[in-house]
Amino acid sequence: AKYDQAIQCYTEAISLCPHDQKQDLSTFYQNRAAAFEQMQKWNEVADDCTKAVELNPKYIKALFRRAKAYERLDNKKECLEDVTAVCILEGFQNQQSMLLADKVLKLLGKEKAKDKYKNREPLMPSPQFIKSYFNSFTDDIVSQPFLKGEKPDEDKDKEGETADNGRTARSGYLKAKQYMEEENYDKIISECTKEIETKGKYMAEGLLLRATFYLLIGNATAAKPDLDMVVSMEDANVKLRANALIKRGSMFMQQQQPQMSTQDFDMAASIDHHNADVYHHRGQLKILLDQVEEAVDDFDECIRLRPDSALAQAQKCFALYRQAYTGSNPMQVQGAMKGFEDVIKTFPKCAEGYALYAQALTDQQQFGKADEMYDKCIELEPDNATTYVHKGGNLDKAIDMFNKAINLAKSEMEMAHLYSLCDAAYAQTEVAKKYGLKPPTL
């Protein structure tokens, strides 16, 4: 009853208020919307907030209330536009509006990815992407250069035309590795299949390399049996089995099966505890699971085993920074920021180091320095769309790149994330045009 009374009072105030008193009128509409909100009359809330915003276009309270009403009415696109405007107008300082933006972006991304992923054509990613993927491993036998005597022509000279068992010595796996060197990636799966079908000398390697390329084109269904087989080969090289476990664990994480993922990483660590890749990739998993302390321990172990691992150093800094920032510990924040400076000084070619440092600087409202870091990142990786969105600069270029990346997504989860980023960039451009604002960052 008291809300009915409030609505009546505000309705009266609106009818009595002179039309040129726009500020007062917009406040009355916004306040009446607040009363409708308590009664869960979402259409009325949206209508009154619209009137308030028409009178006062940058009225944050009305925009946010309308965004929440749109969320209840399942108008995700309109909700995203309003909440993005609120985030930009507030300088990305209000956790409530940022959480709503994040929630809506994730929902939109999931919806779009569900339809698109079912009907996608598996596509080979760009050579640059494939190289970056393999660069995240230091102990991956199948992506390393040829060993002495491994090259197909050397193999032929040494073994003659046929191997001891009468099969052709020209190994499908070695041919696939040659194609890797030549960046002729489309032929790798078929050459690995030849190795597997003839039960060749490099069958385990062939299975792992084929599975890796199945993962790269987004065909996890085909990759899993190959990875399962390598994991179960107890007489195979332990490095191959550990690598198969890391890749299967990452695949499970993309499929949102964290328990299975954790099991695979733990098994990899138990069979090959000197393998830096296990700790690097498990550290990334722990960050996704919000287990920051455990992530830092894993990055530390990776760095102990591979002091030259730039990615692990950068990701450890970011994990420490997030821990300090969310725990409101200024001393630790300062320590993490100093850590970033050390990383970019030691590893000036590591784009990830600059990108993560820039995100931390943005949190600290050091926009000028963050911009410098993003520029450095773009200089090193001009085709990385994520950087453009974080920088808040050339969003049109970012949207174009995200649309291309969506077609190359390796899992529905990754595609949903890319759609979220693309929608975020698009919403920023729309809001920037509408309100004459420069989007600082997202």
Residue-by-residue DSSP string for 28-86: HHHHHHHHHHHTT-HHHHHHHHHHHHHHSTT-HHHHHHHHHHHHHTT-HHHHHHHHHHH
Give CB contacts under 8 A, 24+ apart, made by 8-13: 10/35
pLDDT given for residue 385 in this prediction? 67
Cite the residue boundaries of each domain of the chain with CATH code 1.25.40.10: 3-119, 273-366
415 within 8 A of 409, measured Cβ to Cβ: yes
For the stretch 240-274, pLDDT in tens is 999 999 999 999 998 889 999 999 999 999 999 99
Q: Quick one: CA dihedral 323, 325, 331, 333, positive or negative?
A: positive
HSE, CB side, 13 Å, CA atoms: give it for residue 239.
13
Fold classified for 127-152+164-271: 1.25.40
pLDDT at 157: 42
In the block, tokens 């979220």 appear at: 420
Other beta carbons less than 10 A from residue 169's beta carbon? 19
- Contact in structure between 86 and 97 (CB atoms under 8 Å): yes
Collect all residues with Cβ–Cβ distance below 8 Å to 339 and sequence separation of at least 6. Answer: 316, 317, 320, 321
Cβ neighbours around 371 below 10 Å, total: 18
State the Cα–Cα distance between residues 189 and 155, nearest whole angstrom: 21
- Coil, strand, or helix at residue 22? helix
pLDDT, residue 387, reads 76
Integer Cα distance of 188 and 222 in angstroms? 15
Q: What is the pLDDT of residue 163?
A: 43
> Of 206, 204, 185, 187, nearest to 195 (Cα)?
206
Residue 159: the pLDDT is 41
Give, in words, the CATH class of 273-366. Answer: mainly alpha
Residue 6 structure tokens: 């409030």
Q: What is the DSSP letter of 203?
A: H
Contact 391, 398 (CB under 8 A): no
Please give the pLDDT value at position 94: 86
Residues 6+ apart with CB under 8 A from 38: 3
Check residue 216 and give its pLDDT.
Answer: 92
Type of residue numbered 39? M
Task: Specify the 3-state DSSP secondary structure of 168.
Answer: strand
Q: What is the pLDDT along the chain (442 residues), one digit of tens a residue?
A: 789 999 999 999 999 999 999 999 999 999 999 999 999 999 999 999 999 999 999 999 999 999 999 999 999 999 999 999 999 999 888 889 989 999 999 999 999 999 898 888 888 887 877 888 898 899 999 988 876 566 655 444 434 444 444 344 578 999 999 999 999 999 999 999 999 999 989 999 999 999 999 999 989 999 999 999 999 999 999 999 999 999 999 999 988 899 999 999 999 999 999 999 999 999 999 988 889 899 999 999 999 999 999 999 999 999 999 888 878 788 999 999 999 999 999 999 999 899 999 989 987 878 889 989 999 988 988 877 677 767 766 778 778 888 888 887 778 888 898 899 899 989 988 888 888 876 554 4
pLDDT of 438 = 67
The model's pTM: 0.73
Answer whether 46's CB lies under 8 Å from 76's CB.
no
Res 151: pLDDT: 67
Q: How far apart are CA 358 and CA 362, in angstroms?
A: 6
CATH topology of domain 3-119: 1.25.40
Instruction: Name the token pair of 244.
Output: 């198969």
